[in-house]
């Protein structure tokens, strides 16, 4: 197996707040291969976004980040700011959830796409403009050469998200981190954006980290899925394997909570919710974080942190009682 493009090892993130430290991410490790699409799934506040923000040190100063993020042979957590800025947007770029507000209202779309090109690649104004048109075509914006001179408020949400993706792709990055890229968009537009993501991976070979709380989105585009719970990795497996043989009771619970369209007489079962609440991240227990909500919990679950084990080929799970049978 070739060396991974991005290797995250023992990444922990702690926020020091007035109410004491919050452990947002606890010893996360994962890898991302060349051209791979990794889906990171979990509920709000489970640390998926924080994990990805910490890769290129985007967190505020109240965050303490430890561990290693090795990208292309360099530890990004130890890189001086000037070099880090050259990685940001050029080698690792981001697409966020809010396309409506992520563009600067006072500049044209073309200016903002061109800004990245001029900064990282040193293109001239006219070369940047020409390339910006290409990029807008790449993300399938119709009449790209006219859109270039429009201001963000003249574009729809879907179009703006496409512009954000164009900006992210401008310098042909090796990794694209998409943090809930479709959450703020209409369902019909979501499909288009996901389609675009797949297309990008195929045509440009960009590795993608797709953060979402929507397992449907993951099933659609990801190669491998990582399920997070309360700042820790609960389960990790190739996408087909995870959907066919989920092992962690939390994953099983998530899959049970997906609404399924009407599949014939008598199949309209009630959606299963997961009982209980996510534990407070103020004091992560020295135990399985899911123990309080888990039907399989026992003494050991409540006194030890379950280690990750490979229960099936390429299928890692952090649970003392893994298994597919309904939780």
Partner 1 sequence: MSALAEPNGAPIVDPRARRRRLLRRRFLRRPMAVGGLVVVLVFVVMAIFAPWLAPFDPSATDFNATLAHGSARHLLGTDEFGRDQLSRLIWGARASMQVGFLSTLLGMGIAVPLGMVAGYYRGWIDTVIARVTDVLLSFPFLILAVGLAAILGASLLNATLALGISAVPAFIRIARGETLALREEDYIPAAVVNGANDATIIFKHILPNMTNTLLVQATVTIPGAIVGEAVLSFLGLGVQPPKPSWGTMLQDAQQYLAQAPRMAVYPGLAIVFAALAFNVLGDGLRDILDPRTTR
- Closest approach of Cβ 177 to partner 1, in Å? 8
Among 39, 47, 89, 253, binds partner 1 (CB under 8 A): 89
Among 3, 10, 62, 146, binds partner 1 (CB under 8 A): 146
Beta-carbon contacts of 90 under 8 Å, excluding residues fewer than 6 positions away, are 120, 171, 173
Q: Could you tell me the two tokens for 255? A: 């899959």
Beta strands 6-17 and 63-71 are: antiparallel
Binders of partner 1 in range 93-122 (CB under 8 A) = 93-94, 96, 98, 101-108, 115-116, 119-120
Residue 125 or 300 having the CB closest to partner 1: 125
Q: Other CB atoms closer than 10 Å to residue 183's CB: what's the count?
A: 15
- Closest approach of Cβ 107 to partner 1, in Å? 7
Task: Determine, following the binding rule CB under 8 A, whether residue 164 of this chain makes contact with partner 1.
Answer: yes
- Round to whole Å and give the CA distance between 192 and 65: 35
x/- mask, partner 1, residues 7-36, rule CB under 8 A, reads ------------------------------
Binding region for partner 1 (CB under 8 A) out of 63-71, 131-139, 142-150, 214-222: 142-150
Q: Could you tell me the two tokens for 152? A: 């963000």
Where residue 221 falls (left for φ over 0; alpha for ψ -120 to 50; beta otherwise) is alpha
Task: Determine, following the binding rule CB under 8 A, whether residue 229 of this chain makes contact with partner 1.
Answer: no
- Closest approach of Cβ 98 to partner 1, in Å? 5
Beta bridge partners of 227: 41, 235
- Closest approach of Cβ 11 to partner 1, in Å? 18
Q: Which residue has the tokens 């994990």?
A: 51
Among 27, 68, 74, 85, binds partner 1 (CB under 8 A): 85
Binding region for partner 1 (CB under 8 A) out of 87-95, 251-259, 269-277, 305-313: 87-95
Task: Determine, following the binding rule CB under 8 A, whether residue 142 of this chain makes contact with partner 1.
Answer: no
295: enclosing H helix or E strand: none
Residue 80 or 313 having the CB closest to partner 1: 80
Beta bridge partners of 38: 209, 224
Q: Are 250 and 235 in contact (CB under 8 A)?
A: yes
Beta bridge partners of 31: 7
Binding region for partner 1 (CB under 8 A) out of 86-94, 185-193, 208-216, 259-267: 86-94
Q: Are 287 and 304 in contact (CB under 8 A)?
A: yes
Identify the three-state secondary structure at position 88: strand
Residue 85 or 140 having the CB closest to partner 1: 85
Identify the three-state secondary structure at position 220: helix
State the residues that interact with partner 1 by CB under 8 A. Answer: 56, 58, 85-90, 93-94, 96, 98, 101-108, 115-116, 119-120, 146, 149-151, 154, 164, 167-168
């Amino acid at each position: 197996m070739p060396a991974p493009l991005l290797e995250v090892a023992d990444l922990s993130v702690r926020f020091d707040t007035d109410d004491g430290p919050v452990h947002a991410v606890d010893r996360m490790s994962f890898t991302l291969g060349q051209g791979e699409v990794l889906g990171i799934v979990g509920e709000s506040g489970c640390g998926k976004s924080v994990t990805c923000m910490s890769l290129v040190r985007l967190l505020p100063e109240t965050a303490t980040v430890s561990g290693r993020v090795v990208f292309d042979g360099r530890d990004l957590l130890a890189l001086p700011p000037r070099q880090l800025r050259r990685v940001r947007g050029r080698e690792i770029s981001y697409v966020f959830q809010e396309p409506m507000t992520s563009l600067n209202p006072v500049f044209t779309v073309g200016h903002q796409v061109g800004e990245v090109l001029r900064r990282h690649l040193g293109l001239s104004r006219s070369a940047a403009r020409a390339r910006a048109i290409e990029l807008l075509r790449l993300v399938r914006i119709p009449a790209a050469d006219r859109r270039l001179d429009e201001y963000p408020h003249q574009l729809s949400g879907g179009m703006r998200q496409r512009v954000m993706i164009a900006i992210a792709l401008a310098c042909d990055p090796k990794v694209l981190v998409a943090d809930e890229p479709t959450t703020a968009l209409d369902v019909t537009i979501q499909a288009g954006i996901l389609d675009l993501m797949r297309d990008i991976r195929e045509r440009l070979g960009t590795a993608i980290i797709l953060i979402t709380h929507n397992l449907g989105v993951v099933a659609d585009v990801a190669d491998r899925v990582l399920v997070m719970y309360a700042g820790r990795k609960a389960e990790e497996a190739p996408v087909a394997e995870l959907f066919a043989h989920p092992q962690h009771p939390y994953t099983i619970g998530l899959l049970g909570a997906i609404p399924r369209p009407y599949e014939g007489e008598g199949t309209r079962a009630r959606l299963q919710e997961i009982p209980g609440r996510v534990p407070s991240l103020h004091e992560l227990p020295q135990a399985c974080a899911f123990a309080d909500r888990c039907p399989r919990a026992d003494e050991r679950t409540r006194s030890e942190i379950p280690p990750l084990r490979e229960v099936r080929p390429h299928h890692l799970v952090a649970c003392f009682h893994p298994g597919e049978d309904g939780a």
